[in-house]
Amino acid sequence: MTAVAAAETFRFGGMLRRLPSAVSESAQNAYGYARGGRKRLQPVGMTIDHDDVALARSLLRRQSAWRDREPVRRYEQAFAEWNGSAHAFAFMGGRKALTACIEALELLPGDEVIVPGFTCVLVPNALRFAGLRPIYCDIELDTYGPDLDSVRSRIGPRTRAILLQHLFGLVSRDYEAIIALAAERGLRVIEDCAQATGAKFKGRRVGTLGDVAFYSSERSKVYSTIVGGIAVTDNEKIADRLRRCATEWPAPSDDQVRRLLTSVIYDYFRFGHRLSPILEPLARIRFDWAVSENMSDAELAGSMPDDYRTTMAAPIAALGLNQLRKFDANLSRRIAGANAWRDWCLSQGYRPPTVVDGSEPVFLRYPVLVPPEMKADVSWARRLGVVPGVWFRTNIHPVPEPVPDCPNADRAVACCINMPTILEPR
């Protein structure tokens, strides 16, 4: 989904149409680069480095091993251990991991799930594909998580679960209270940790307090395998059903795997290389064929893609393992970036996001509420050397689905921008 944000800057498809903007952006990058460091425009915080490229190249040469399930099992085990979860299962995307969570909780058609009215359409889509009804609740503006009182007000006789979302790498303010409310009302909690992989609350990673949780390693998330997702649980029954999805669903086609591995190289040259400002337009021309959209128009419009249910491919799991090893090093970079944005907020009179007591955010992005006109046109940020993220520009990004009675979510749609926290290539 956040690749959609990237696509706003880098229009996928139609190379000729795109080329002029590629050149002008690159010229600005080169200008900033020549002036040294900070002025380099950085639309996406990148965790793909040279060693990931070397790995992707070697994986591209070993196609005969792409169907091996062993690397996937190793990745799942490593993730579970690192996350402090009893079980982890890998899929080809966060939304697919969410689909497995829905199946594992045995939610039934017509059941209602409470979802924050400030999210990406692929979250309610995963619910609707399973015949469930998303019921939107409001968020709070401290951490952009679901608001406890609003969640409570949405509970009805058909409510079965709450989708507890952690955005921007922050730990949601009402985390514990919503878990307690769900327990009291006999509701399941699905944690959406797609943007907060690795964040901690009272020493435990997010995703370990709910019944089941999912994570994403889509290219713009906390760590990147270009596309990827994981579902975790401590519950043995839920784990059995997740395992069934992970073993029975098909793996992606070799063609898709080839595109993804090539995209690792592409992303590195676009964003991660010291000379990216110069290499980027060349990389666009050379690797354009490999780029696939994160969400097709059909999926945006609410129809389920044919390859929606897919388990993780072995080479993607190998990338995931390599990215996990570098997690802490990248987190230090993000924390340094977040500290810089915090100082910037204070100096400009903006309120920094809240780090709730006992939480250790991973600062995927640094969200800030600015006047609506500053979100409508973010070109003012060029002097800061960044391209702010504008997700979400509609409540159910990027579609105009109306969300009644969610004033805070509406305010975030109008005013919340997010700054990249990895500001320099390695």
Ligand X SMILES: *Cc1c(COP(=O)(O)O)cnc(C)c1O
Using CB under 6 A as the criterion, which residues of the chain lie in contact with ligand X when the complex forms? Answer: 1-2, 93-95, 119-120, 122-123, 165, 192, 194-195, 216, 218, 229, 294
| CB-nearer residue toward ligand X: 119 or 263 | 119
Q: How far apart are CA 380 and CA 107, in angstroms?
A: 46
| CB-nearer residue toward ligand X: 279 or 300 | 300
The tokens describing 159, both together, are 């409510």
Q: State the minimum distance, in angstroms, from the CB of residue 329 to ligand X.
A: 23
The residue with tokens 């993780």 is 312
Q: Nearest-CA neighbor of 362 among 223, 163, 267, 224?
A: 223
DSSP for 58-77, written as a single string: HHHT-GGGTT-SHHHHHHHH
Maximum Cα–Cα distance across the chain = 62
Q: State the minimum distance, in angstroms, from the CB of residue 157 to ligand X.
A: 27
| CB-nearer residue toward ligand X: 262 or 294 | 294
| CB-nearer residue toward ligand X: 159 or 172 | 172
Contact 102, 127 (CB under 8 A): yes
Q: State the minimum distance, in angstroms, from the CB of residue 138 to ligand X.
A: 16
| CB-nearer residue toward ligand X: 194 or 291 | 194
Q: Is the peptide bond before 363 cis (omega within 30 degrees of 0)?
A: no
Q: State the minimum distance, in angstroms, from the CB of residue 371 to ligand X.
A: 25
Q: State the minimum distance, in angstroms, from the CB of residue 93 to ligand X.
A: 4
Q: State the minimum distance, in angstroms, from the CB of residue 373 to ligand X.
A: 26
Give 136's strand partners.
115
| CB-nearer residue toward ligand X: 2 or 233 | 2
The tokens describing 341, both together, are 């944005």
The residue with tokens 């043995």 is 236
**Residue number, nearest CB to ligand X:** 94
Q: State the minimum distance, in angstroms, from the CB of residue 347 to ligand X.
A: 29
| CB-nearer residue toward ligand X: 98 or 182 | 98
Q: How far apart are CA 108 and CA 319, in angstroms?
A: 35
Q: Nearest-CA neighbor of 281 among 34, 84, 7, 21?
A: 21
The tokens describing 302, both together, are 């609410």
Q: Nearest-CA neighbor of 76 among 67, 88, 91?
A: 88
